[in-house]
Structure 1
Amino acid sequence: MPNFTHPSLTVDGLLRRAAGRDPEGIAVRTADTALTLRELDARADRIAAFVRRETGRRPGARVGVACVLDPVFAAAYHGVARSGATVVLINPLLGEDGLRHVVAEAGAELVLAPAATAGLLAGLRGALPELRTLVVTDSPGGVVPAGCLPLDAVLESGEPVAEDSGADLDAVACVQFTTGTTGRPKGVRLTHRNLVANARQTVLAHGLGPGSVTLNHLPLYHVMHLNSALDAGACQVLCQDPDPVVSLAVAAGCGVTHYYGLPARLHRLAADARLPRLPHAARGGERLTAVLSGGSALLPEAARTLRDALGVPVVQGYGMAELSPLTHFQRPGPHHRPGSVGTPVPGTKSRLVDLGTRRPVGVRRTGEVQVKGPQLMAGYLGERPGARLDPDGWFSTGDLGHVDDDGVLWLLDRVDDVFKYDNEIVSPSRIERLLAKDPRVADCVVAGLPDGEHGGVVWAGVVLAPDPAAAGPGGVAKTLDSIAARANEQLADFERVRVTEVLDAVPRTPTGKPARRLIRRRLTAGGPAPASVPPPHPHRQEQTMVTFVNKLTVHGDVDAFLAVKDRLTSYMSGQPGYVSHQTLRHAGQPNVFLELAVWQDAAAHGKAVRSEEFQSIVEGLGPLATPEPGLYETVEASA
């Protein structure tokens, strides 16, 4: 869209304008709360006044805000921006190490967070000399961690500010950290202009307006959804229950028009046996116009299942923190391609370039995605502006893909994960998806094995599903050969699996993605696997009984933790391969628990923890406790 324009407003100005247009309109709704735009604006004012007092009105002072799926985030985010300070977005599900890194890297001097996160930060103050003030945004049981202020005291203190931040549109409004998939999380500096432009781009791409009602079925609050709803004057509904069927009932009850969900939850919903039995009125409601997904790939099969069940388009977008975040979106209509990420949103330019020459490539040719637009970040913390741009101002995303004849973008893999066989690019993710369809494969990972002739050949690490037929002499070797042959029938010659290996478990990052760097390091070195990668057992005849040990330090309500833990134990005890379970409580530290679960083998345990049901229940533990899991094999036992 060549004539794309966006409001000349600061981020906090979006809320001020929306409250002026429709003060009694509902801004944010939960199961037990509804805030009008006027009320949300007033809360933001009071938080802004508090932040100004605490920071001495220094422009750009860094203030952390935990992204909880609660109206308090909306008030705190806009209040900090209105004060003239910079919002540092904090994932409340991070453990101690992640919190320490984010708060220290950003230099946050004030943090607003729920009690569990504030309690962790209070214990880290010795390592965070710049952190002076902690404000607790909730207080389970009325208990506020020592050294913290309750939010109520902040909202009730002082006079609200009468003016907005008055910040330059190109001043940094927000620091958002990357997920850290390829290294330590980096702080992305986003300006008021970046965020307001992307809010308008999202409004146009998603078709939002004053009559829209959006539902966020997400574990965290994302600024894209907050800012775009305020720009459109739409109502936001926050569904905090992880059950996707419950979320549909909430959508129907609230007259939701746009349903936002994560791929993992949408995949779970598509496979839920309750979905076909739901009455029509409980399938999102009559006003629902679209289900929208982002964050990772949405499987086309799941999208089609949901489309048929709900009777609305199921679409996905693409973007990243560095781009505020949206850059591409699947628009319902003749160019909607399930499995793609669509076309650029208004005001955005996109192209693909050859990995070697860095020259643009043509239609259906694989290249790295590059993007330009007003939503492009000001840079990373500690780096000069423009340091990551090429001479023409293009930002390289690190993602590989191609565009079809209609300009629709199809993503392939991360640049760091692909490798070349001769001059052809090999995508590990594509091969993994094919291998995973084999019922004999419980899990798998693919990487490039260095090869003197071709550069790299496909190595596949496979976790075998329990299979008595593979127990005989040579059984495992034959099974591996058969698995590879079945996949190779559907692969080009350069993609063919050349080497297979049996693994106890696939090493994964905290977000569940394969830890390919560890695998590549071991394959390149040609030596033993590092300690964090389970050692491979080529042609292993037997599975070894294992014990899963998990230390959990509870930072939230202990009774709530025990309730979620009991649900998890009940689910796991019904899974194939489960043997026994025991929970221990520390005698001197009643908030510390030890879980011991014995499984027939690592493959059975791995399959259980990767299930959608397990992931759904575990989401409820995130805000309550910090886990330290590990998998152990018996060394010595006595009767």
Structure 2
Amino acid sequence: MTDTIDALIRLHAQAQPGKPMVIDPDQQLSYAELDAGTQELAAAFVAAGIGKGARVGLIMPNSVEWVRIAMAITRIGAVLVPLSTLLAAPELGAQLRVASVQYLITVEEFRGHRYLDDLSTVRADLPALRVVWTADQLPSGPGPGGIDAVTAAVTPSDTLAIMFTSGSSGPPKGVIHSHGNALRAVRSGLSARCVDADTRLYLPMPFFWVGGFGSGILTALSAGATLVTEQIPRPETTLRLVERERVTLFRGWPDQAEALARQSGAVGADLSSLRPGSLEALLPAEQRAEPGARAKLLGMTESFGPYCGFRADTDMPRSAWGSCGKPFEGMQLRIVDPDTGEPVPAGTIGMIQLRGPHMMRGICRRSREELFTPDGYYPTGDLGHLDDDGFLFFHGRSDDMFKVSGATVYPSEVEQALRTIDGVDNACVADVSGAVGAIVVGDVTVDQLRAAARDRLSAFKVPTVWLLVASDDDIPRKATGKVDVAKVRALLAAQ
């Protein structure tokens, strides 16, 4: 059974011992080294009192060492709690408290954050916290022979990790995943993401988010692939790393890929190793699809990453262009009326609800009854519709929709219509005191936009507040790359 971290590490260490599992700019770790190194560290953790179910926090930027520590923790059935390197002291204290972290491993400083200093200001409110280690002062102990009995006791149903969401609104949530549900979720999306054993994957996402931990580390581990990572992505260093390590698959943020593409000529990096399925801005023009032809993977922390997609190197049927593809095997999806909770017909926009073995086990300090419907579905808060063939079209967050004269406006529907207008490169829509507002990137006038929008949208959906900007860089975004709706709304209100 390979539905535990320990089983996967042992499998690949035996099958391909010399193959690199993870590479950063300064070091790399083969599957055999990962096995031996994590056994040794895991034995030291056990000797230090960390056992099955113990909750261990980790604050560290992406690196080979992050992977070694995390895998050692999870091999013995302890619960990994990745913590953001961006947290301020009150946020750090809140997450440590919510997750009842007992042991904490942290770097002393990263990008101006001094975590030990921050911890000193909140530790009095952390009764569960027993021990704090810096990353260069980890415990050492007996040899690897002592952990076989411990790892053999770990089952797919045991908790693997508590992942904090990046938080689209409100405080972040500590989402609980088991070994089995997380690894099954990762495996269900390997084909759609074009990942196999020959893949050399670059991913810029931080490992403390499910996009980095699941779509990076556990994706490579599940497929027996190689992961390439770095602490701080910068265009020149990233391009050189991709070139040096002959990366075959570049996944992550489209914005980052576009920025790299703009600078690749000046840097002179050879990106010929990249294959279809990578973000298209970095591929030769002849390998790029028409806009909308390829699926935009849709996922969330609660589903341990993508739950819907289509092969990233393959065009969808024309009727499905602009969609997120289809739900992966093992994921049940339905669309319901946001007010009544009743399923709606195909083609009708409603809230997306999810159910299945890949979903989270729960959320810290929340009961199952608070989270799931009586028949076991999780209301995601996302809006979408299914077409007659089962392709899912995303329409934003339910808390982003708004009313104009009593009628519901879905921002994504207006955005998609505006993007079909000649001269429009991108558009973001938000409510402005009960009116529809739009930020538009492109070479077009407001009069042209208004006239074209009237041909595409009902009158109440046509924006009445407009802001024209020169490039995508003028659209406010969060650290995750998502559009910052609050700042978009503020910019539009200033008009």
Q: CA deviation at 1:384?
A: 2.4
CA distance in 1, matches of 2:11, 2:345: 44
Deviation track 1:259-281 (CA, whole Å, cap 9, x = no partner) reads: 222133123235x1545x787x8
1:309 maps to a residue whose letter is A
Q: Distance in 2 between matches of 1:130 and 1:438?
A: 58
Q: 2: CA distance between counterparts of 1:361 and 1:308?
A: 42
| Residue deviations 1:112-169 (CA, integer Å, cap 9, x gap) | 22222542334432333332322222xxxxxxxxxxxx24x53x43333431162232
Is the aligned partner of 1:265 residue 2:256? yes
1:136-151 matches, within 5 Å, as 136-137=134-135, 150-151=136-137
Deviation at 1:106, TM superposition (A): 0.8
1:173 partner amino acid: L
Cα separation, 1, equivalents of 2:275 and 2:70: 28
Q: Deviations over 1:76-95 (max 9, x none)?
A: 11111123221112111222
Matching residue within 314, 321, 345 for 2:301:
321
Which amino acid counterpart does residue 397 of structure 2 have in structure 1? R
**Distance between the aligned counterparts of 1:35 and 1:61, measured in 2?**
26
Are 2:314 and 1:333 equivalent residues in the alignment? yes
In the aligned structure 1, how far is the partner of 2:238 from the partner of 2:54? Answer: 38
Which residues in structure 2 correspond to 1:521-536 (within 5 Å)? none
Q: Does 1:11 align with 2:2?
A: no
Q: 1:218 to 1:353 in 2, by over 3 A?
A: same
The separation in 1 between residues aligned to 2:491 and 2:392, in whole angstroms, is 36
1-side partners of 2:178 and 2:152: how far apart? 13
Q: CA contact under 8 A between 1:218 and 1:239: conserved in structure 2?
A: no
Identity of aligned residues (%): 27
The residue aligned with 1:184 is 171
Structure 2 residue aligned with 1:370, among 337, 353, 361? Answer: 353
Cα separation, partners in 2 of 1:409 and 1:269, compared to 1, 3 Å: farther
1:91 aligns with 2:91: no
Q: How far has the Cα of 1:491 moved from its partner?
A: 3.3
Which deviates more from structure 2 when the two are superposed, residues 422-431 or residues 173-182?
422-431
**Is the alpha carbon distance of 1:203 and 1:499 closer, same or farther for their aligned partners in structure 2, counting shifts above 3 Å?**
closer
CA 83–427 in structure 1, closer or farther in 2 if over 3 Å, else same: same
Deviation at 1:394, TM superposition (A): 1.7
Residues in 2 aligned to 1:484 and 1:25: alpha-carbon distance in whole angstroms: 57
Q: What is the CA–CA distance in structure 2 between the aligned matches of 1:30 and 1:189, rounded to whole Å?
A: 28
Q: How does 1:282-361 map to 2 (within 5 A)?
A: 282-285=270-273, 288-291=275-278, 303=280, 305-309=281-285, 311=287, 316-331=296-311, 332-335=313-316, 339-361=322-344
Query: Residues 339 and 98 (structure 1 numbering): CA distance in 2 closer, same or farther, change over 3 Å?
Result: farther
Indicate whether 1:114 and 2:146 are aligned: no
d(CA) in 1 for partners of 2:331, 2:475: 38
Structure 1 residue 458 corresponds to structure 2 residue 442: no
Residue deviations 1:490-519 (CA, integer Å, cap 9, x gap)? 5321312356899xx999866564354997
* 1:162 is aligned to 2:147: yes
Q: Is the 8 A contact 1:27 1:236 kept in 2?
A: yes
CA distance in 1, matches of 2:488, 2:199: 46
Q: TM-score, normalised by structure 2?
A: 0.81
- Secondary structure of 2:278's match? strand
Q: Which segment is superposed worse, 365-374 or 204-213? A: 204-213
Task: List runs of 5+ in structure 1 lacking aligned partners.
Answer: 1-6, 138-149, 293-302, 450-456, 465-478, 520-532, 539-639
Q: Is the 8 A contact 1:66 1:113 kept in 2?
A: yes
Residue 48 of structure 1: CA displacement?
A: 1.9
- Which amino acid letter does the alignment assign opposite residue 86 of structure 2? L
Stretches of structure 2 lacking an aligned partner (at least 5 in a row): 469-473
Matched residues, number: 467
The match for 1:410 is 393
- Measured in 1, the distance between the counterparts of 2:492 and 2:295 equals 40
RMSD of Structure 2 on Structure 1 (CA) = 3.8
Residues 49-68 of structure 1: pairs in structure 2 closer than 5 A: 49-55=43-49, 57=51, 59-66=52-59, 68=61
State how 1:191-590 maps to structure 2 within 5 Å: 191-220=178-207, 221-240=212-231, 242-244=233-235, 246-270=237-261, 272=262, 274-275=264-265, 282-285=270-273, 288-291=275-278, 303=280, 305-309=281-285, 311=287, 316-331=296-311, 332-335=313-316, 339-385=322-368, 387-421=370-404, 424-429=407-412, 431=414, 446-447=430-431, 449=433, 457-460=434-437, 490-498=456-464, 513-514=483-484, 516=486
Q: TM-score, normalised by structure 1?
A: 0.64
Counterparts of 2:478 and 2:246 in 1: how far apart (Å)? 38
What's the offset of the Cα at 1:399?
0.9
